[in-house]
Chains A and B, each alone.
Chain A
Amino acid sequence: AAGVIQSPRHLIKEKRETATLKCYPIPRHDTVYWYQQGPGQDPQFLISFYEKMQSDKGSIPDRFSAQQFSDYHSELNMSSLELGDSALYFCASSRLGMTRNYGYTFGSGTRLTVV
């Protein structure tokens, strides 16, 4: 079965640079979520989109922005990168209203290293 696809898998950037992470949800899923997970930490919710509209907002820094496109893929844009932004960034997707399973599926993540 198709899973959530994230690209790139690994990314190395210098401080103050910008980065764009991409997420392709499972087909027919209409909701995407972004999480940031630092080393040894729990995933922190950043932002979610439903039907291309921002749905919920978590601890996303002002330097970050995201959007969901007409084909439901999403991009997380990160500017003025800081060393503390180094983390695993997970995207997850779900289809609202599915009664069988309200759990959502995470992608394999993008490991961002800021040097």
Chain B
Amino acid sequence: GENVEQHPSTLSVQEGDSAVIKCTYSDSASNYFPWYKQELGKRPQLIIDIRSNVGEKKDQRIAVTLNKTAKHFSLHITETQPEDSAVYFCAASKSGGGADGLTFGKGTHLIIQP
């Protein structure tokens, strides 16, 4: 089955700086890669996603890049703010958002230092 590895497990950055979280996946058939933000005790919330036919996607301060050849994808957050502090999960799926389940990475605890 799919295996998703995520690094780093903890990331501390100064407010206003950029943060980058990286994930690799094992199954070349995976074609959908969402990123979720989760605050303690709350639901995961989709912040951005990318499909395998696209190399990069941006939404305001958040961007995701995908390298299908290397089987890795990254989340970039610019101009970080205190409210960005949370756990971020990357995930992968083979069904392009269909009924197949997502395989999640282990998560990155992002800490924004004021």
Contact = CB atoms under 8 A, between A and B. Distances in A.
Partners in one complex: yes
Interface stretch (A12-20, A78-86, A96-104): A96-104
Contacts of B101: 33, 35, 45-48, 56, 58
Interface string B72-114: 0000000000000000010000011111111111110000000
Main secondary structure of the interface of A (DSSP, over half): strand
Interface residues of B, number: 24
A43 B44 contact: yes
Interface in A25-71: 31, 33, 35, 41-50, 55-56, 58
Given A43-B89, A90-B43, A107-B43, A102 B100 contact: no
B29 to A, nearest CB: 14
Nearest to A33: B101
B89 A104 contact: no
A72 interface: no
30 contacts: A31-B99, A33-B99, A41-B106, A42-B89, A42-B105, A42-B106, A42-B107, A43-B44, A43-B89, A43-B104, A45-B101, A45-B103, A48-B100, A50-B98, A50-B99, A55-B99, A56-B99, A56-B101, A58-B101, A88-B41, A96-B98, A102-B49, A102-B51, A102-B97, A103-B34, A106-B43, A106-B44, A106-B45, A108-B42, A109-B43
